[in-house]
Structure 1
Amino acid sequence: MTDVVIRPLVAGEEALFDSMPDPLPQLRQVAYADGVAGRGYRPENTWVALRAGRVVGRAAWLHLPGAVGDPWLERFDLAAEPAVGAALLRAAHEAFGGPRAYYAALPAYWRRRPEVLAVVEAPMAAARLAGLVERGERLRCTWAGAPLPATSGRYAVRPAADREEIDALVARIAEPDVLTGRETARAVAGVDLATDPLAWLTGPPTDWRIALDAGRPVGLAGTAGDACYPLLAYLGLLDGDARDELLVAAVRVLAEGGAREVVADVDGHRVAVLADLERTGFRQVRARVIFEPAG
């Protein structure tokens, strides 16, 4: 900790943040300068740790314009001991009025990759030292034009009739399989995508697909072709056997609308869901380990 200066950036210091080499260039992330231009990253929400004038730690909290929730830590890189990173986080948390969530972005299969572990162990240890607690992992998967598999045809799939039909099915699904952008929906609009997806997703009800077993609804998939990426935003089931059929139908909706890539987020422990996504042609591209304030 000797001679370490910890402080927020001031306007015009974007280059100071970027003076630290990117330790995980394989991750697809919004560049800091682009985030500043879009007003999601702001100097007062960006902190650095300097040793002999060199950036050895940097942390940028994201707060999108119009967001009703707190900023969350989106970028956190550390080229120093975890104690330095913890001190940086504590200083920022004090300025924010309390600790904030940290979504640690990592390459896919990061636990199997020693070169990635060597990079991420220090910032994750720093987060724990600063009082943040690991709450789970979310995996981002993408379909990028792979041929869609044949399905059994056991289930019929049709567009949703209206918002009322979607809301009625959502109310019956306790734990959706896929919720893409759940953290963003909560932070920006205060919406729980699991229980009120139509408060966040703006497309027409006919973009949703309902799986039917002998005329009885057993699953629901919501797509969003007009978001930052084409999304499989919601997938929930009353009959798990309908997952394959519904996944194919949802991807087809987006592909026929011109999508060349479809994004889906799933909790890391949902092994069966991940297997069905992979059978549909999705591949893991990123993980996010979720750290939240204790309590």
Structure 2
Amino acid sequence: MTVLTFRPLAAGEEDLFDSLPDPLPELRQASFADGLASGGFAHSRAWIALADDKLVARAAWVLPPGAVGRPWLERFDAASPEVGAALLTEAHAALGGPLPYYAAAPAHWRQRPESKAVVDVRREAARRAGLVERGERLRLTWAGANLPATSGRHTFRPVTGEDEIRSLVARIGRPDIVTGAETALAVLGADLASAPLPWLRTAKWLVSEEVGLVAAAGDHCYPLIGYLGLLDAGAREELIAEAVRVLSGAGAREVVADVDSYRVEVLAALERTGFRQVRSRIVLT
């Protein structure tokens, strides 16, 4: 009879955690040892499931050093939803309750049967462990594609100060793009949609009083459109392109942007500007 054991990862078992084959290698997950070295992973926040000493599930929650928020589930693989749910349930009890899970998936994963099968196991396991699916965010990358020509109708300038940013953010309400929202919330407790300045204070903010504003951030993990909010939806592509020009002019060869999957008009504008989908993150809390 198979005996299942659920327990935290012990020091020196980093190779054991990584011994389970990665079912979605295109996502390029960091090894547990690398995450441990950077300070985001910890043995106390990594759990494994063993079936007669064979690894059948693993989970690791990450929290960057100095972060003020709660850890989130970053690495999770399981042989079945049943085993995965049991592992998460045991870990949640030890960690003080269910924690958010940002389930990474390849671009267009629903149209790829092998990828869908892996993602569905993770989603079902999380659901059985008490998490609820709240939405999906797509990551897109611009990597040197030709940008559309400017129409000449709009003039973008640097913002005059933080008060102007706050005033426009309040007028916009729901931005088109916020990139890295999950990390900003965990690290600083910042809501990028309503209060982006704590996370994007050093970004280059460009504004047009009639159109909206955009934050081109080049000093985060990679160049990105941190925030894009519109007063005139007809200028969406032009504002996206302007942010990319600023970043590429400063040497960026790649620019990333995150958008909620249901924002089809924003997704289409990004793709017309030369962005391509590279990843999905399903939000479960």
* Shorter-normalised TM range: over 0.9
Residue in 2 that maps onto 1:10: 10
Structure 1 position 129 matched with structure 2 position 128? yes
Q: Tell me if structure 1 keeps the 8 A contact 2:2–2:52.
A: no
Provide the rounded CA distance (Å) in 2 between the counterparts of 1:29 and 1:286.
12
1:250 matched to 2:243? The reply is yes
The amino acid across from 1:23 in the alignment is: P
The answer for the alignment partner of 2:167 in structure 1 is 168
1:92 match: 91
Counterpart for residue 255 of structure 2: 262
Tell me the CA shift for residue 208 of structure 1.
1.1
**2:206 is the counterpart of 1:209:** yes
Instruction: Name whichever of 15-24 and 26-35 sits farther off.
Output: 26-35
- Are the counterparts in 1 of residues 18 and 31 from structure 2 also a CA contact under 8 Å? no
CA deviations on 1:73-129 (whole Å, 9 max, x unpaired) are: 0111112x2111111001110011111111100000000000111222212111111
1:34 is the counterpart of 2:26: no
The TM-score, its normalising length taken from structure 2, stands at 0.97
**Aligned-partner Cα distance in 1 for 2:161–2:41:** 37
Which residue type is aligned with residue 146 of structure 1?
Answer: A
Report how many aligned residue pairs link the two structures. 285
Q: CA deviation at 1:8?
A: 0.6
CA contact (8 A) 1:223 1:233 kept: yes
In 2, distance between residues paired with 1:164 and 1:217?
17
1:31 Cα deviation (Å)? 2.7
Quote the Cα distance in structure 1 between the aligned partners of 2:222 and 2:31.
Answer: 17
User: 1:153: Cα distance to partner?
Assistant: 2.2
SS of residue in 1 equivalent to 2:127: helix
Q: Is the 8 A contact 1:210 1:246 kept in 2?
A: no
SS at match of 2:279: strand
Partners of 1:28 and 1:155 lie apart in 2 by 40
SS of 1:26's equivalent?
A: helix
CA distance in 1, matches of 2:28, 2:274: 20
**d(CA) in 2 for partners of 1:253 and 1:26?**
29
Give yes or no for contact 1:151–1:244 (8 Å, CA) kept in 2. Answer: no
CA distance in structure 1 between the partners assigned to 2:136 and 2:33 by the alignment: 27
SS in 2 for 1:278: helix
Distance 2:265 2:153 in 1: 19
> 3-state DSSP class of the match of 2:132?
strand
Displacement of 1:61 in angstroms is: 0.4
Aligned CA-pair RMSD: 1.2
CA distance in 2: counterparts of 1:203 and 1:233, whole angstroms: 11
How many percent identity over aligned positions?
62
Task: Measure the CA separation in 2 of the matches of 1:31 and 1:219.
Answer: 40
Runs ≥4 in structure 1, deviation > 6 angstroms?
A: none
User: Paired residue for 1:288?
Assistant: 281
Contact 1:244 1:280 in 2 (8 A): yes
Contact preservation (8 Å) 1:153, 1:245: no
8 Å CA contact 2:7–2:49 kept in 1: the answer is yes
- The C-alpha deviation readout for 1:43-63, integer Å capped at 9, x for no partner, is 110001111211110101011
Counterpart check, 1:237 vs 2:245: no
Moved more, 175-184 or 20-29: 20-29
TM-score where L is the length of structure 1: 0.94
Residue matched to 2:147: 148
Stretch deviating more after TM superposition (136-145 or 160-169):
160-169
**How far has the Cα of 1:30 moved from its partner?**
2.6
Unpaired segments ≥5 residues, structure 1: none
Q: Please say if 1:189 is aligned against 2:188.
A: yes
